Structure 1
Amino acid sequence: MNSTRFEARSVIVTGAASGIGRAAALLFAEEGAKVLVADLNQDGAEETVKTIKAAGGNAVSVAGDLSDPQVVNEVVTTALQSFGSLDVLVNNAGIMDSMAALADVDDAEWERVMRINLTAPFLLTRAALPHMLSAGHGTIVFTASEAGLRGSAAGAAYTASKHGVVGLVKSLAVMYRKQGIRATAIAPGGTQTNILAHSLGAEPDKMSALMNTLVQPQDDAEGAPLGPTVLRDILATNSGRQSTPEEQAAALVFLASDAAVQINGVVLPVDDGWSAV
């Protein structure tokens, strides 16, 4: 461990079995934090913990559905029992939607995306806040999205869920700033993660159809889904270079650090300038 920026601090990172969450968990640990890795994917979570420990760090994992209040309580309780405090919460876990326009979103997709992207971070934040308030300090960082800043980056369900995340960040910042709590978010643009593979129940036929629609030629086939058809050219023109999970994690960890102590209620685009278009 070369840095002590987070020495003696405990951090919960959700969705830390892969992608941005894993990169953030590794970076927090590298900078001295004690890290609880939370993810639905138990094998992936344990692999992240194993990597941290192999480098000399301190980490534990909890596997489960973070929209389940019992799992949420287990995450917070395990962090407190293992590390003695809860200093930073990173609400990163999320899934993509099918890029469907509103009229084409079925109940199951809407409920699943909202449950994982918005209800889960709400539940975990609510469970963590009493401990942070008791300590007189705490930092909460969310992974929002470019889709939380505009209406042209994803389907209706994902876009609504990430706008909800932005609302949580701003409400937290206003309500709790006098109690020593900071809330911020990164808003990633295109990032090289496997979020699509975890979406729609990871159904290969739906994923394949979605990707084919997003990359098909200009003359759309009759009956092509409206959402991907509309979004394809916008995304191709405006979305910029895809980032790596490590680049997103660097911004996330910065927002959690003392270097960002005066930054509160901010949603930081990490998108190669997409939000400036």
Structure 2
Amino acid sequence: MGKLQDKIAIITGAASGMGKAEALKFAEEGATVVVADLNKEGAEEVVQQIEANGGKGLAIQVDVTKKSDLEEMVSKTIAEYKQIDIVINNAGIFDKYTASLDTTDEQWDLIFNINLKAIFQISNLVLPHMIERGKGNIVNIASIAGLVAQMGGAAYTASKHGVVGYTKHLAAVYSSKGVKINAIAPGTIRTPLTEEMLKTRPTNKIPLDRFGNDYEVAELAVFLASDDSQFMNGAVVPIDGGYTIV
């Protein structure tokens, strides 16, 4: 029996990177995974991989900037499985360290819509269902940029600080109704999308002197989504090799 046996989990941005690693790990731990992503073919490939390993999954094409897509994602999941136990708000985009004076209104709005507003809308869609059942688990993927600031990344840093604050609000208000809400703050994580960029990036500012791996984030997500973390609520857990302690 896996740690997430018979749980129904929605993971956004799950066609690649950390989201894909989370989807595969959750399925390995016994969850049925709704793989939600704008990239429909990528989502379907992840489900095929899950099923090839003996797991269960459902691919749904979702543009997280469209509330109608989010409503359909939630309604389809409930119609198919009658319940939602876990939501991993993983979908997000980066602004390539763009400083404030170089950030356009359009870039700011897009990053906030994907990184923060979508989490707000998804949470408001699933919370009534979870509260009615008296149980549920939401894990928001923030970033160390939600804990510290750097020279660039105005919109990204502000949006991830928003994720941290919103996570704490949700936990403060809704945990008494049976819903557990926590966040993960990854540092620099090695994924297929970042592999090329990281070839020229130094690791000397990270105490462990290496980058993280997507499967390590997935393992932390499993911990927070499982009964192993029953007394954790409103936590924002860095997984950054010690970067934020320096």
TM-score w.r.t. the length of structure 2 is 0.93
Of residues 103, 106, 109, the one that matches 1:105 is 103
Task: Quote the Cα distance in structure 1 between the aligned partners of 2:100 and 2:204.
Answer: 23
2:129 matches 1:162: no
The residue type paired with residue 157 of structure 1 is A
Provide the residue aligned with 1:134 in structure 2.
Answer: 132
Match of 1:219 in 2: none
- Compared with structure 1, are the counterparts of its residues 142 and 93 closer, same or farther at alpha carbon in structure 2 (3 Å cutoff)? same
**Counterpart in the other structure of 1:238:** 205
Name the counterpart of 1:75. Answer: 73
One-letter amino acid of the structure 2 residue matched with residue 116 of structure 1: I
Number of aligned residues: 244
The 2-side partners of 1:27 and 1:153 are apart by: 34
The question of 1:258 aligning with 2:232 is answered no
Amino acid at match of 1:24: E
Aligned-pair identity (%): 44
Change (3 A) 1:236 1:53: closer
Cα deviation code 1:26-61 (max 9, x no counterpart): 111111111100011111100011111111211101
- State the 1:88 CA deviation: 0.4
2:185 is matched with: 187
What displacement does 1:8 show?
1.6
Do the aligned partners of residues 195 and 120 (structure 1) sit closer, same or farther apart at CA in structure 2, a change above 3 Å counting? farther
Alignment-mate amino acid for residue 218 of structure 2: A
Contact 2:203 2:210 in 1 (8 A): no
Q: What are the ranges of 5 or more consecutive residues in structure 2 without an aligned counterpart?
A: none
Note the C-alpha offset of 1:195.
5.6
Aligned in 2, Cα 1:43/1:97: closer, same or farther, shift over 3 Å? same
- CA 1:54–1:111 in structure 2 vs 1: closer, same or farther (change >3 Å)? same
Q: If the length of structure 1 is used for normalisation, what is the TM-score? A: 0.83
CA RMSD of aligned residues (A): 2.1
For residues 188 and 153 of structure 1, the distance between their equivalents in structure 2, rounded to whole angstroms, comes to: 18
Q: Quote the Cα distance in structure 1 between the aligned partners of 2:205 and 2:179.
A: 35
Is 2:241 aligned against 1:267? no
In 2, the alpha carbon distance for the partners of 1:153 and 1:62 equals 37
Q: Alpha carbons of 1:82 and 1:149: their partners in 2 closer, same or farther (altered >3 Å)?
A: same
Higher share of residues assigned helix: 1
Unpaired stretches in structure 1, ≥5 consecutive residues: 198-207, 216-231
Max Rg structure: 1
In the superposition, relative to structure 1, how do residues 153 and 75 fare at CA in structure 2: closer, same or farther (>3 Å)?
Answer: farther
